[in-house]
Amino acid sequence: MTDSHQKDGPTRRSFLAGSAVAGAAALTGTAARATDPDPAITEVQPWARYLGDGVDARPYGHPSEYEAQVVRRNVEWLTADTTSSVNFTPIHELDGIITPNGLCFERHHGGIAEVDPAQYRLMINGMVDRELIFTLEDLKRFPRENRAYFLECAANSGMEWRGAQLNGCQYTHGMIHNVMYTGVRLRTLLEEAGVQPAGEWLLAEGADASAMTRSIPMEKALDDCMVAFKMNGEALRPEQGYPVRLVVPGWEGNMWVKWLRRLEVGDQPWQQREETSKYTDLLADGRARRFTWEMDAKSVITSPSPQAPITHGPGPMVLTGLAWSGRGTIPRVDVTIDGGINWVEARMDGPSWDKSLHRFYYEFDWDGSPMILQSRAHDSTGYVQPTKDALRDVRGENSIYHNNGIQTYAVAADGSVENVEIA
C-alpha cells in the first residue's frame, strides 16, 4: 500500500500507531506512585540555602557543569593530523534547530587561522569593472540580512558508505550545524565591483594556511550567497572563519570558505584541489561526478540514538530528530519503529526555513520491546530520502561524499541503541 502526500486522518493514524506498539495503551493513564519521601524535596538543597555567583562572575557564560559531556568530539583514527581534520557536533544532545556557536562542528585544512580583524582585507578581482579591497568596517556599512542555514560537510556520514561503523549520530551525522548568519549579500559586493558579462564563475579563497579555494557558478553567487560576519548574533567564532566567511546555502560545507580573503571573477572554473582531488564523487565504474554541490534531503533520529539511549523504561516517550535539504524545505518526515514495515508521519515543529535544519517529533508509548528506528525526509521538491542500499545501487561504495541514506537504529529491550543496517 502506498501513500503520497495526503495526511492520514486521525482514525487511520491512531490505528497505525496503535498497531505498531500493540499493548502500549495498558501502560498509560496512571502516574507512578512513590513510597518513600524524596530527599530532593524533603532536604534543603545547597542551592536553596546559600547564595550563588553574582552577576559579575560570568561575563561570558558557559553551560552548566552538569552538561560537560555536551561537546564536540574528534575521532582520532579518521585523519592523519588534527589540523586538517574534522570534529563532530553533539546533535544527540541538542534540540530545536539552532546549533550553539561553541558546539558547531569544525573542519579545517590548515588549522584555525587567528585573524586580526584590523588586518582583515577582502579583495574582489578578475573580470570586474573595479578591483576592490574592503576592510571589515567597510563590509559592515553595506545593507545586511539575517538567514539561518545548515552547513553540512560533504563527507557527513561518509564513513558509513560501506556499512554501520560509528556508534552515534554525533559521529555519523554530526558534521553539520545550523546558525543564524548576519552579513551582506554576496550579490551586493559583486555589484559594487561590477561583474563583467563573461564573468560566469567566482573563486572564493580563504586566508588560512590551506588557502582554501572553490569555484562557484555566478548564478549561485548572485542568488542567495552571503558574506557573513556574525553567527547567532555574535561575531563568528575563530574556528568558523572569524572575522568573515562565505555562506553558500544548501551546498556542501567545503564551499563555505572561512577567513574569506578574496573573490575572483572568471569565465571558467579553476579546478582547484578541493574540486578535483577532493569533493568529487567516485562511482563504481571508476568515473567520478564533479561539482556535486547540493546536499540532498536527509534526516536522522537524534534521540533515541546510540549516545542517547532510553533510560526511562516503557511508557510515554519522545522520538526526535533533524531533517534538512539543500534544495528547499522539509514539509514531511516519516518515522518507523519496526524497521520500515509500517511508517507514520512525524510531527514537524519549529520554523521551516529554506535550506535550514527542521525538527521533528514522534511521541508514542513504548511497550518495552525491541525496535528498529528509521526516519525518511521528504523535501519541498518532492524528493524522498533514499535508503543506503538505493544509494549504493547508483553510486557504489567509494564516493565518500554525499551519503544521505536512511539511518537505522536497533533499540534493545534495555533501551540501549545501536547503529545497524537492515535488509
Partner 1 sequence: AQAQTYGLGREALPEEVAAWDIDVRPDGLGLPEGSGSVLEGEDIFLERCASCHGGFAEGAGRWPPLAGGQGSLSSDDPLKTIGSYWPYLSTVWDYVHRAMPFGDAQSLEPDEVYAITAFLLYMNDVVLDDQFVLSNENFTDIHLPNEDGFFMDDREESPLFPPHDVCMTNCADSVEIVMRANILDVTPEDAAAREARAAVAA
Ranges within 126-155 binding partner 1 (CB under 8 A): 126, 130-135, 138, 141-142
Among positions 95, 101, 270, 369, the unique one binding partner 1 when judged by CB under 8 A: 270
Q: Could you say whether residue 407 binds partner 1 (CB under 8 A)?
A: no
308 neighbors 314 (Cβ within 8 angstroms): no
Residue given cell 579518521 in the structure block = 78
Nearer to partner 1, 54 or 77 (CB): 77
Q: Return d(Cα 142, Cα 211) in angstroms, integer.
A: 26
The one among 23, 96, 316, 382 contacting partner 1 by CB under 8 A:
382
Q: Taking CB under 8 A as the criterion, which residues in 333-362 touch partner 1?
A: 334, 338-344
The smaller minimum CB distance to partner 1, of residues 145 and 192, is found at: 192
Residue 369 touches partner 1, criterion: CB under 8 A: no
What whole-number distance in Å separates Cα of residue 93 and Cα of residue 170?
9
Among 262, 298, 358, 392, binds partner 1 (CB under 8 A): 262
Check binding of 168 to partner 1 (CB under 8 A). Answer: yes
Min dist. Cβ of residue 89 to partner 1 (A): 14
Q: Which is nearer to partner 1, 233 or 347 (CB)?
A: 347
Burial of 272: CB neighbours in 10 Å, binned 0-12, 13-18, 19+? middle
Contact 91, 173 (CB under 8 A): yes
Q: Footprint of partner 1 on residues 287-326 (CB under 8 A)?
A: 287-294, 296, 306-307, 309, 311-312
Instruction: Could you list the beta-strand ranges (E) of 237-278.
Output: 245-247, 260-266
Residues 6+ away with beta carbon under 8 Å from 243: 115, 117, 120, 136, 229, 235, 236
Among 112, 180, 235, 422, binds partner 1 (CB under 8 A): 422
The answer to whether 39 contacts partner 1 (rule: CB under 8 A) is no
Strands 344-345 and 408-411: unpaired
Q: Does 87 bind partner 1 (CB under 8 A)?
A: no
285 binds partner 1 (CB under 8 A): yes
Burial label for 263, CB within 10 Å (0-12, 13-18, 19+), is buried
Distance of closest approach, residue 113 Cβ to partner 1, in angstroms: 11
Within 8 A by CB and 6+ apart from 413, the residues are: 368, 369, 370
412 touching partner 1, by CB under 8 A: no
Strands 73-74 and 371-378: unpaired
Polymer length in residues for the chain: 423
- Site size for partner 1, by CB under 8 A? 111
Nearer residue to partner 1 within complex by CB, 232 or 243: 243
With CB under 8 A as the contact rule, which of the stretches 21-29, 40-48, 55-63, 159-167 interacts with partner 1? 159-167
Closest CB 54 distance from partner 1, rounded Å = 27
Grid coordinates belonging to 176: 553539520
Strands 107-108 and 122-126: unpaired
Helix (H, G, I), strand (E, B) or coil at 213: strand
391 contributes a contact to partner 1 by CB under 8 A: yes
Query: Stretches 36-44, 81-89, 98-106, 225-233: which one binds partner 1 (CB under 8 A)?
Result: 81-89
The reply on whether position 113 binds partner 1 by CB under 8 A is: no
The two most distant CA atoms of the chain are separated, in Å, by 80
